Structure 1
Amino acid sequence: MIENGKILVETLVVCCYGKFNPIRGFTIRELEIATNNFDARNVIKDGYAYKFYKGFVEDRTVSVMKFNDILNDGHEDCFNNIIFASKLSSHKNVLKLTGCCLETRIPVIVFESVKNRTLADHIYQNQPHFEPLLLSQRLRIAVHIANAIAYLHIGFSRPILHRNIRPSRIFLDEGYIAKLFDFSLSVSIPEGETCVKDKVTGTMGFLAPEYINTGDFNEKCDVFSFGMLLLVLLTGQKIFDPSRGDEIGAGHYWLLHYVKKCIENNEFDEIVDPIIVSEGPRVGKEKQLQGFRELALMCVCESAEDRPTTVDVAKRLKQIYQHLA
């Protein structure tokens, strides 16, 4: 606990320009009681590196993020989440940090509650207790996340890069308010630099081509990932799916290749998520779909220079959502 506390304080002071904002401390016993000893039935997200549990603290629902204790890099990922969540929690579309427990080998983090699991759960799983996500809801979720990412990029003296934008990194709260989370890979661009150079990490299919080729990551790489998120929202399809390549080649296992091929063949309408199609026609719907598609393709341009900024993306999405496209 002492070592974890020392690391946390030192890291927060460095990242917050000499200031340290105290974070509420929880005991492991409090969190065991809150989650019924981390009962598997309380898991709301099960990932490779961590699990999120639904819990109750002082009659208030919370989300508890517990890392896998066998991870060698678990400490780094955990402290990254605490650091960046503490800086970003004021934004309504970022999952709000409540506190943490330093008594375990890898600290346990406590966040605000979430009601409706992740966007990936709703897009991919089609579970009967999930209501279908309509086009208007998808557009609103896109607006929320674009606003959050724009805040990361311009809200601080040095831009913050998320580096892992995808549906499983977005919780949906009551009313389907989108909340960006998981800052395990996030990093600030150093002062005087225009990018971060690092080993390639993240999720294939969401990674910008220049990052794969050079290891250089900047804001436009986040824009590319967000563009892929828009394509997932439009099509309801997974980023990688071997069944897609049976007739048009293995390269189209990847969603971006598949979408481009369908557009070349004037078949894009055929791959719009059937849930969106089943809504039926209404005034402005086709214009919204067109604007949504065009913006997504701008975000995933091969050349980073041709991609819009996240601020421009957020503005454009708001226009599309409000039928002003």
Structure 2
Amino acid sequence: MVSFWRKEYWEKRGKTKFIVKNGEILLEKLITTFDETEVPILVFESLVKYGILKDHILSHREPHLESLSWRQRLKISMEIANAFAYLHVGFPRPIVYSKMSSSIILLDEHLVPKLIDFSYAECIPDGETHIKGAQFREYVGYTAPELCRGVLNEKCDVYGFGIFLLEILTGQRKIDLIRSMSETEDETETKDEDRKFFARMGDNWSLDFEGGEINWLCNFVKNINGENWFIVVVDPTIIGDRLCPETRQQIKVFVELVVIKCLSYSAGDRPSMIDVANNSGNFIYLLQHNVN
């Protein structure tokens, strides 16, 4: 399978040279270019034998697709975190992917995730810690709140990765997750005013300009107690794996130590992608030593 992109689309963003030089991390192989056509195009090889990750996470929407186990989801998350860490520290200047979304991650036949579409990737300028004046309206992934102030750096990727982890864990898109959580009747101490907050927002869920909806969601998740936490938060297909008590506890700890921290409102409070990748690897190690 191949995919086609207008060459002009990439060159306007200065990405063609980046693709050619760094093809090993693009994970979607550039096959050739057609400059003689009426509209010059770039042709990529798409390794999509197992499809788009989003479809396997949201398997209830695609019943013909096999759902992913918790171990598979955690392994995929770690490999994506490793890819982001490489972008952030493996080059003379950090590269911010800035378009994190489960809809642009492909899976090969071994369930290895493939990052695609680097059209929004940006390099942090020499001597700077972030890109000033970033045009956040162009970013269509999981948007960090500081982008509304025109600030873009590696911690924006960390925030987007945190939302991605929520999707991996719950089997729901962010928009659906917040709506379902706000409507959940449970025995937590979450205030009714908080649960109704997003009902007043209507359908304007596209960008989290001030981080309010995610802050609310994180507090909601942290305040659920006991076994009810697992039932309310975790994808039912993961629960169906009959996880042992140790694994259930590790999932909750993973959410507290990794997911919630990635979603900190303040960029300075978020971990680096190296730390996220290392923590994910530690949880995989523990998972392999559990007996279900």
CA contact (8 A) 2:28 2:44 kept: no
Q: Is the 8 A contact 1:223 1:299 kept in 2?
A: yes
Is residue 196–residue 218 contact of structure 1 (8 Å, CA) maintained in 2?
yes
Partner of residue 115, structure 1: 49
TM-score, structure 1 length as denominator?
0.71
Work out which of the residue numbers 18, 22, 26 in structure 2 matches 1:88.
22
**Percent identity between the aligned chains?**
34
- Residue 268 (structure 1) aligned with residue 229 (structure 2): yes
Q: What TM-score comes out, normalization by structure 2 length?
A: 0.78
How many residues in Structure 1 have an aligned counterpart in Structure 2? Answer: 256
Identify the residue that residue 202 of structure 1 maps to in structure 2.
139
Aligned-partner SS, 2:198: helix
Which structure exhibits the higher relative contact order, with contacts defined as CA atoms closer than 8 Å and separated by 6 or more residues? 2
Stretches of structure 1 that go unaligned for 5 or more consecutive residues are 1-53, 55-62
Partner of residue 258 from structure 1, selected from 206, 217, 222: 217
| 1:243, distance to aligned residue in structure 2 (A) | 4.6
Partner in structure 1 of residue 279 of structure 2: 316
Q: Go from structure 1 to structure 2 and tell me whether the alpha carbon gap of 1:302 and 1:64 turns closer, same or farther (over 3 Å shift).
A: same
Partner in structure 1 of residue 172 of structure 2: 237
Deviation at 1:65, TM superposition (A): 2.6
Residue 106 of structure 1: CA displacement? 4.2
User: Residues 120 and 112 (structure 1 numbering): CA distance in 2 closer, same or farther, change over 3 Å?
Assistant: closer
Give the CA RMSD over aligned residues. Answer: 2.7
CA distance in 2, matches of 1:283, 1:322: 16
Q: Deviations over 1:152-179 (max 9, x none)?
A: 0011000111001110121111111111
Q: What SS does the corresponding residue of 2:51 show, helix, strand or coil? A: coil
Aligned to 2:30: 97
Give the Å deviation of 1:131: 1.2
Which of 220, 223, 242 is 2:155 aligned to? 220
1:282 to 244, 257, 263: 244
**Displacement of 1:130:** 1.5
Relative to structure 1, is the Cα distance of residues 88 and 228 closer, same or farther in structure 2, using a 3 angstrom cutoff?
A: farther
Q: 1:130 to 1:120 in 2, by over 3 A?
A: same
Distance 1:193 1:175, change over 3 A: same
Pair 1:140-2:114 in alignment: no
Question: What's 1:65 paired with?
Answer: 4
C-alpha displacement of 1:186:
0.8
Contact 1:94 1:148 in 2 (8 A): no
> Which residue type is aligned with residue 67 of structure 2?
P
Task: Write the letter of the residue equivalent to 2:30.
Answer: L
3-state SS, counterpart of residue 85 of structure 1: helix
Distance 1:249 1:66, change over 3 A: same
Counterpart of 1:65 in structure 2: which amino acid?
Answer: F
Distance 1:90 1:74, change over 3 A: closer
